[in-house]
Structure 1
């Protein structure tokens, strides 16, 4: 009878070990599914916006969750930029009266047509102009489908916003202006 008890105990241990292995494997699979979901689906529903640091020397990323396909994504980007940062250590870069009148995406270049308030209500200065323009450019060019941003005012090409930065050509992402680069 002792041999049967030992065999029974060995069989029970094997079953327990098998159950433990299955539980660990199932936990690992659930964890991997969670990682994929959070990294793919949740990050897909985030806006990446660039705002000025308080000292107006750099741009910093601020991410915001959005509802998928609630409205036009490009328009939503601009509206969130215009609203300004939620982080109190950052400053807005777009004058509040500014409106995005329309846009056109062609060959990886988005042309953004703003009203004159972007120029007329801008607080000025070379650094202010640089941070305003590149908060727009860096925000839009972080999207896969956009490499360049062209800025128009009331449908017209402009040489500069407030006298310092050449806007006659489409602009690319500027990493030098982002903090920590």
Structure 2
């Protein structure tokens, strides 16, 4: 009788052990067959934009193109473009915004972009009519060419509207894009580099006269 009980117990234990082994085997086989999820690298939306910096001699605005990321929506993309302008050009051109400038906020309203800068834009700016014009029109021209529906720009400093940028060019009203200060195109077959003719200078003088407050 004891022998029969012993045999039955041995058979039961063996069956349980065999069941565990078979269960583990089939589970491992299923795990091997299960598809491994692919790791998808998240990429930020990119966009080609146009940036305007001063030419090496500070006479006019020279055009550069670059690719920026972070363009899931236009407001973020505008901020990324402005940061590129602050970072400065890649080549021999000259920055037109102080490197310490910070962007405190960007608002889009129909065709108007409202940009709130830190005080560094004013405190670190060298001033002067031409320099202020180059700074202002580098901003609006870059924005308007990269985002054609943005036709005007309002500059704020620490959330406030200022009368001028640095004592010369008015920024107390929205500014529209104006490409008078941009580099003249080369003429095919010409031997000489492009220069502003008398008409170009008259247009620049007109811009200064219209945008500058009489010191008196």
Q: Same fold judged by TM-score > 0.5?
A: yes
* Distance apart, 1:174 and its partner CA: 1.1
Q: Which residue of 2 aligns with 1:121?
A: 124
Q: 1:50 aligns with which of 49, 52, 72?
A: 52
Verify: 1:158 aligned to 2:154, yes or no: no
The residue matched to 2:176 in structure 1 has which SS?
A: coil
Moved over 4 A (4+): none
Aligned residues: 137
Q: 1:69 aligns with which of 48, 71, 84?
A: 71
Do 2:69 and 2:77's aligned partners in 1 also have CA atoms closer than 8 Å?
no
RMSD: 1.6
CA distance in 2, matches of 1:104, 1:45: 19
Q: Which residue of 1 aligns with 2:140?
A: 137
Do 1:103 and 1:110's aligned partners in 2 also have CA atoms closer than 8 Å?
yes
Do 1:52 and 1:131's aligned partners in 2 also have CA atoms closer than 8 Å?
yes
* Distance apart, 1:68 and its partner CA: 6.3
Q: TM-score, with normalisation over the residues of structure 1?
A: 0.71
Structure showing greater relative contact order (alpha-carbon pairs closer than 8 Å, 6 or more residues apart): 1
CA distance in 1, matches of 2:102, 2:166: 17
Q: TM-score, with normalisation over the residues of structure 2?
A: 0.60
* Distance apart, 1:60 and its partner CA: 1.0
Structure 1: gaps spanning 5 or more residues: 1-43
Q: How does 1:89-104 map to 2 (within 5 A)?
A: 90-104=93-107
Do 1:113 and 1:153's aligned partners in 2 also have CA atoms closer than 8 Å?
yes
CA distance in 2, matches of 1:78, 1:68: 12
Verify: 1:105 aligned to 2:144, yes or no: no
Q: Which residue of 1 aligns with 2:83?
A: 79
CA distance in 1, matches of 2:168, 2:127: 9
CA distance in 2, matches of 1:147, 1:85: 24
The residue matched to 2:175 in structure 1 has which SS?
A: coil
Structure 2: gaps spanning 5 or more residues: 1-45, 186-216
